[in-house]
Amino acid sequence: MFDILLVTFPFFALVLAGYAATRRGWLALSAIPGLNAFVLYFALPALLFRFGSTTPIAQLLDAAVFGIYLLVALLLVALVVWLSRRRGLSWNDAAFGALVVAFPNTGFMGVPLLAALLGPHSVGTVMVLIVVDMVLTSSLCIALSRLSGQAGGALAAAGQALRGVLANPMPWAIVLGALASAYGLQLPGPLQQTVWLLADAATPVALFTLGAVLARAYLQTAALDQAQAQPTRVQALAEPLQLALLKLLLHPLLVWLVGTGAIALGVALDPFALTVMVLVAALPSASNVVLLAERFGADSGRIARIILLSTALSFLSFAAAVAWLGP
């Protein structure tokens, strides 16, 4: 496991660097949206296009990977919504609690980390999972969040979520990369070099930005707790910690159980692809869920705590998952 930590340490160290720079005030909070825009609209799409264009099209259209991962996401969403509703939470908070448990940080952390651990061959499977999370899981949870009776209803919210997906360049980068792979197309030399340079910048900038986003979420949550006079820090963290552990432990376990069961039943699922799926599920929660929660009026402080806890705990839990799978 120590050898695995040596591989994963630089990735988490970059997250910590962004976190520390923001907490210390070296990086202004006003600079974070600019970093986010560079990562989301330039660097990550370039990285996804590069991997997509160099990945066999069959791997990008793996129905078994798509179906099994989606089934687990639906099971996890159902479980977390049920638990949250039993606690008396609204549909809005229950739905975003489910989304933060079912949606791993695949874009900012998963793509570069798994490429380093398992090689570029793993990224084709990762991109299939990104599509499931961004298009289906997110839209489902946003639709569920509207069952509390807010204006617009579930169908309108799902439509709004899909419009957001269409405006996001990451799925389009995957689609364009897949088309380039299918037809053997290449960008003209100078343009390809430009895209490749942007792709090279994706990993360090994305991880540093992730740390900055987490620090901003911590500062905002701390200010909100102080304004609302939270009773104790332990009480404030109990439920978020439980959901963070569901994300880091139950999510990958469910993927492994359903995947191995599917293989036993004769489903054509590559064992290597299953390993990639389990490790993606073992990633911490996606940082953009807190922005969605804030946009739709859910308890964004609660979501921020879950993301922070899952990211901090994943340094050891992710390495343990890699050691357990032994890829």
CB 58 within 8 A of CB 183: no
> What is the SS3 assignment for 270?
coil
Name the percent of the chain lying above pLDDT 90: 68
Quote the CA–CA distance of 170 and 46 in Å, as a whole number: 9
Q: Residue 327: pLDDT above 70?
A: no
Q: What is the pLDDT of residues 248-286, one digit of tens each?
A: 999 999 999 999 999 999 999 999 999 999 999 999 999
* Residues linked to residue 172 through DSSP beta bridges, in sequence order: none
Q: What is the pLDDT of residues 22-51, one digit of tens each?
A: 999 999 999 999 999 999 999 999 999 999
Least trusted range by pLDDT, from 101-105, 162-166, 291-295, 315-319: 162-166
Residue 11 C-beta-side C-alpha neighbours within 13 Å: 27
Which domains does the chain carry? 2-322 (1.20.1530.20)
What pLDDT was estimated at residue 32?
93
- Name the pLDDT band for 222 (thresholds 50, 70, 90): confident
Query: What letters, b where the CB count within 10 A reaches 16 and e where it falls short, cover 143-177?
Result: bbbbbbebeeebeebbebbbeebeebbbbebbbbb
Q: Residue 294: pLDDT above 90?
A: no
Q: Tokens representing 254? A: 């469910």
State the DSSP string of 292-319: HHHHTTS-HHHHHHHHHHHHHHHHHHHH
- Name the pLDDT band for 147 (thresholds 50, 70, 90): confident
